[in-house]
Amino acid sequence: MAVKVIIPTPLRAYAGKKESVEVQAATVAEALSALTNQYGELKKHLFADDGRLRSFVNVYVNDEDIRYLQKDQTNLREGDTVSIVPSIAGGTGEAA
């Protein structure tokens, strides 16, 4: 089914400068896979080397954080909006 993936401003340069991309997907994992197959440069900013979503990359389906749904196996329905939202983290390199 067709769903809309909202591209956050910092990543638009790697997605043809588009604000959103429509993909065919039944789950969040499929949607992100379709997106990064289409725009390969996005992959390293979303996924770590082990293939998992980077720890600071969060995904929402409509207004729900997928951590509280079925994570990347969350089912999508026709017309759903998938948003990629970072959490911002950092700090000094010193041990706690």
* Residues lying near another protein in the complex (CB under 8 A): 8-11, 13, 41, 44-45, 55-56, 58, 60, 65, 85-96
Beta carbon of residue 85, minimum distance to another protein (angstroms, whole number): 4
Nearer residue to another protein within complex by CB, 50 or 94: 94
Distance CA 95, CA 58 (A): 26
15-18 long-range contacts (CB < 8 A, ≥24 apart) are 15/39, 15/41, 15/42
CB of 24 to another protein, least distance (A): 26
The least CB distance from residue 21 to another protein, in Å, is: 17
Which among 7, 23, 1 has a CA at the least distance from the CA of 83? 7
CB 21 within 8 A of CB 35: yes
CA–CA gap between residue 58 and residue 45 (Å, rounded)? 12
CB of 66 to another protein, least distance (A): 11
Nearest residue (CB) to another protein, 63 versus 78:
63
Which is nearer to another protein, 30 or 65 (by Cβ)?
A: 65
